[in-house]
Amino acid sequence: MAGEYAKAKRMGERAYRRAVFTGRYPYLPALEAITDQSGSRPEIAVGIQELPLSMIAGTRTTGRQNAFACNFMPLLPEKSEFALKWEKLVEAQVAEGFREPIKVYEYMKQFYVQEGNKRVSVARYLDMPTIAADIIRILPERTQTKESLVYYEFLDFYKVAPIYEITFSEPGYYKKLAEMIGRDLTETWPDTVVKHVRSAYRNFERYYYSLRGGALNIPAGDAFLTYLTVFRLDCLLTDDGKTIKRRLGRLWNEFLTETNDNMITLVDEPAEADKKDREGLLRSLKKGPAYTEAHPLGVAFVYDKTPEESRWIYSHDLGRQDLEQRMDGLVRTKAYTGCGTEEAFMDAVEAAAAAGDEMIVTTSPVQMEMALRAAIGHPEIRFLNCSVNLSRNAVRAFYGRMYEAKFLLGALAASLAEDPVIGYRADYPIYGNIACINAFAIGAALINPDCKVRLTWSTEKNTNWQQTMWEEGIRIISGPDSIKPQNTSREYGIYRIGEDGKVTNLAMPVVNWGLYYELIVRTVLNGTWNARAMSKKDQSLGYWYGMSSGVVDVVLSEKIPYSARKLVQILKQAMMADTLNPFEGELHSQEGMLQGPDAPRLSYEEIIRMNWLNDNVIGALPELDHLYEEAKPTVIASGVKTEHVTPKIVPAGKTEAEA
């Protein structure tokens, strides 16, 4: 094996020069330079495992640190005793393999060699994928940082499925992986399942990196989850490499989207071309098919429930019917109801595809992953999902800026309330809804600084929100946004409960779904559907229209005094002119001041991803375990994450800049 050391040394020297040129440390990192070596950190004997060589980051101590370049290739002279021992290890490995495992310390899923640095170097040189290692784990301090949360979730995962290779970047991903294969993080997985998952991941990782996945700023584990969203785990074990690569290619834009810090581009106003009247629109058609009454655009609406059992579906189905009337023969629609299961959903998609439909609308966050799978299988169909924070390149999200209407209704409620406490009945603790609660509370405080908003959740178990409101003397309540089909109750929107129990509806927020769908459909008819999306393939596209586009509004009862109506009108005009925004300037959460008086308004992303409640809100976000079972899928799909994101608090006595 003469000359092997010289080749390895040249590889080390090249890695050394590249590191110096790019400003990186050219030698192996040492664990003792990273962690406290006082012995105060708990150490756990993990045992002997086949360890991927790619996960070995460096050496335990600084003693042998400079003998290797950062890629573990040797740097010491060729005639040294070190070089002689290195070449003998090459001979031993080729002849019979290493007999003894190396000894490594694991810290935050990175491995540092205590005994066996030369064996790791030789294994790297020979392109060995794994090496036997006796692992000792050093437990890091447990904190609320994202890195700590991810690591301690990995430890839960490792207890049930001892797989080191799979690395994720976000909390909750190990749990999601377990759910995808019908497992959890409490019961030990059978050995056959562990073996299949490990083998499937290794196959995925190999093909992912062969397609330059390493150039993406996304761990192979994250990409693996995206792949499993669409394709089954078993496919990675049974399908040939050509098929797997082809599927990876179809998902590449989804991977690109995951790498972008701004994963979604929100369109908050229709383009001028989308606002043209129907006659002008038809005359301007230059791209795409010429849709006519004889050849209309087919749009399928796939609902997870029926309009009879869901207020939400009922309002969307009214919008579907309105869309047909608005487009006067240019669009035909069909509703597929009760498609809450994967089988029913895919049956509806296949029926729509067979009918020649070119757009499919889904109206629940729980349908996003199913819509993605369908979109990958039917790239000829445009897919939409009614959600506010879910980003998929192949499925466009859409939602209304409901917080604008809630702000007006909060101000209205405070102007009508005799008691300084107003009730607010929320349903799901999901993104978008928190902004609505806070906007309502801010609007109420604008009219009455002493006003409080009593928050309750209709989806929370072991609570009776109606009784709670009554016993606390709360008579003005913000309830469900719309009526329930086949229900004559007036308990929706803003309503008053009299001392005799009589309910009087006062106002309600509305989303004109028919207009919303028309604005989206027109981008297909005038050939501009792809114009925005083609500019950036690493972002998904979402619509977030509000009052200025006519999509969101409030309807006031004739019973409201003219002065209160005038108040709402003034605030509405200011909001539509973009001179008023509830999330501009000084903001206070229940924990303290978030930003000062001169602060700019929150970005759309900050509004959408709120996980804090305004300081005049009495209540809290419920935990998932406290919700009814039927509410959990929606919250799992689009629920607010409170465990690892906290609002920035400006301490008392300091300016925002000082904080």
Residue 391 lies in a domain: no
Pairwise CA distance, residues 607 & 577, whole Å: 19
Average pLDDT over residues 626-633: 90
pLDDT tens per residue, range 193-250: 999 999 999 999 999 988 877 777 788 999 999 899 888 899 999 999 899 988 888 8
- The residue among 3, 13, 31 whose CA lies nearest residue 74 is 13
Inter-residue contact 258 to 218 (CB < 8 Å) = yes
The reported pTM is 0.78
Q: In terms of domains, do 289 and 310 share one?
A: yes
CATH of residue 479's domain is 3.40.50.2300
Inter-residue contact 643 to 149 (CB < 8 Å) = yes
Name the more confident of 65 and 566.
566
Residue 369 lies in a domain: yes
Q: Which domain holds residue 536?
A: 267-386+514-549
Inter-residue contact 545 to 551 (CB < 8 Å) = yes
Average pLDDT over residues 525-551: 78
Q: Which of 142-156, 269-283, 303-317, 488-502 has the lowest mean pLDDT?
A: 269-283
| The pLDDT of residue 536 | 56
Inter-residue contact 412 to 446 (CB < 8 Å) = no
Going by pLDDT thresholds of 50, 70 and 90, the confidence category of residue 530 is confident
Q: In terms of domains, do 414 and 561 share one?
A: yes
The residue from 214, 237, 259 where one domain ends is 259
Residue 204 lies in a domain: yes
Average pLDDT over residues 155-163: 96
Please determine, for residue 273, whether its predicted confidence score (pLDDT) is greater than 80.
no
Average pLDDT over residues 92-105: 93
Query: How many angstroms separate the Cα of 285 from the Cα of each of 148, 255, 326, 525, 617?
Result: 54, 34, 18, 7, 50
Residue 644 lies in a domain: no
| The pLDDT of residue 582 | 96
Q: In terms of domains, do 586 and 504 share one?
A: yes
Query: Please, what is the average pLDDT of the chain?
Result: 88
> What is the sign of the dihedral through the CA atoms of 305, 309, 315 and 320?
positive
Inter-residue contact 507 to 560 (CB < 8 Å) = yes
Residue 502 lies in a domain: yes
Pairwise CA distance, residues 182 & 179, whole Å: 5
Q: In terms of domains, do 288 and 358 share one?
A: yes
The residue from 89, 122, 141 where one domain ends is 141
Average pLDDT over residues 8-34: 94
Instruction: State the Rg of the chain over Cα.
Output: 30
pLDDT tens per residue, range 359-411: 999 999 999 999 999 999 899 999 999 998 777 888 999 999 999 999 999 99
Inter-residue contact 97 to 69 (CB < 8 Å) = no
Going by pLDDT thresholds of 50, 70 and 90, the confidence category of residue 281 is very low
Pairwise CA distance, residues 455 & 620, whole Å: 7
Pairwise CA distance, residues 453 & 432, whole Å: 18
Inter-residue contact 390 to 369 (CB < 8 Å) = no
Q: In terms of domains, do 433 and 366 share one?
A: no
pLDDT tens per residue, range 117-148: 999 999 999 999 999 999 999 999 999 899 99
Average pLDDT over residues 8-22: 95
Q: In terms of domains, do 502 and 522 share one?
A: no
Q: In terms of domains, do 453 and 376 share one?
A: no
Q: Which amino acid is at 136?
A: I
* CB neighbour list of residue 381: distance below 8 Å, 6 or more residues apart: 349, 352, 353, 357, 358, 359, 360, 374, 375
Count each helix (H run) and each strand (E run) in the chain, helices first.
Answer: 22, 21
Please determine, for residue 535, whether its predicted confidence score (pLDDT) is greater than 50.
no
- The residue among 558, 560, 556 whose CA lies nearest residue 416 is 560
| The pLDDT of residue 285 | 45
Residue matched to tokens 């303290």: 592
Pairwise CA distance, residues 148 & 171, whole Å: 9
| The pLDDT of residue 37 | 56
Q: In terms of domains, do 580 and 489 share one?
A: yes
Per DSSP, the three-state class of 115 is strand
Q: In terms of domains, do 19 and 128 share one?
A: yes
Please determine, for residue 537, whether its predicted confidence score (pLDDT) is greater than 90.
no
Query: How many angstroms separate the Cα of 426 from the Cα of each of 453, 479, 619, 620?
Result: 12, 7, 11, 11
Inter-residue contact 388 to 544 (CB < 8 Å) = yes
pLDDT tens per residue, range 412-455: 999 999 989 999 999 999 888 999 999 999 999 999 999 999 99
pLDDT tens per residue, range 31-80: 988 876 555 788 999 999 999 999 999 999 988 888 999 999 999 999 89
Tokens of 122: 């030789």
Pairwise CA distance, residues 586 & 579, whole Å: 16
Residue 396 lies in a domain: no
Report the DSSP beta bridge partners of residue 395: 383, 392
Please determine, for residue 274, whether its predicted confidence score (pLDDT) is greater than 60.
no
The residue from 549, 567, 601 where one domain ends is 549
Going by pLDDT thresholds of 50, 70 and 90, the confidence category of residue 540 is confident
Question: What total number of domains does the chain contain?
Answer: 4
| The pLDDT of residue 2 | 62
- Using CB atoms within 10 Å of the CB of residue 129, give its burial: 0 to 12 exposed, 13 to 18 middle, 19+ buried: exposed
| The pLDDT of residue 107 | 95
Residue 114 lies in a domain: yes
What does the chain come to in residues? 659
Q: In terms of domains, do 201 and 230 share one?
A: yes
End-to-end CA distance of the chain: 62
Pairwise CA distance, residues 382 & 538, whole Å: 18
| The pLDDT of residue 640 | 80
Q: In terms of domains, do 53 and 102 share one?
A: yes
| The pLDDT of residue 261 | 53
Tokens of 356: 């020649």
| The pLDDT of residue 415 | 96
> What is the sign of the dihedral through the CA atoms of 415, 417, 420 and 421?
negative
Q: What is the DSSP letter of 624?
A: G
Q: In terms of domains, do 197 and 69 share one?
A: no
Q: What is the DSSP letter of 201?
A: H
Tokens of 202: 């290794």
Q: Which of 260-269, 446-455, 548-557, 561-570 has the lowest mean pLDDT?
A: 260-269
| The pLDDT of residue 89 | 95
Please determine, for residue 185, whether its predicted confidence score (pLDDT) is greater than 80.
yes
Pairwise CA distance, residues 224 & 201, whole Å: 7
Report the DSSP beta bridge partners of residue 510: 553
Going by pLDDT thresholds of 50, 70 and 90, the confidence category of residue 30 is very high
Average pLDDT over residues 146-174: 94
Inter-residue contact 550 to 495 (CB < 8 Å) = no
Q: Which amino acid is at 228?
A: L
| The pLDDT of residue 478 | 95
Residue 585 lies in a domain: yes
Pairwise CA distance, residues 307 & 314, whole Å: 4
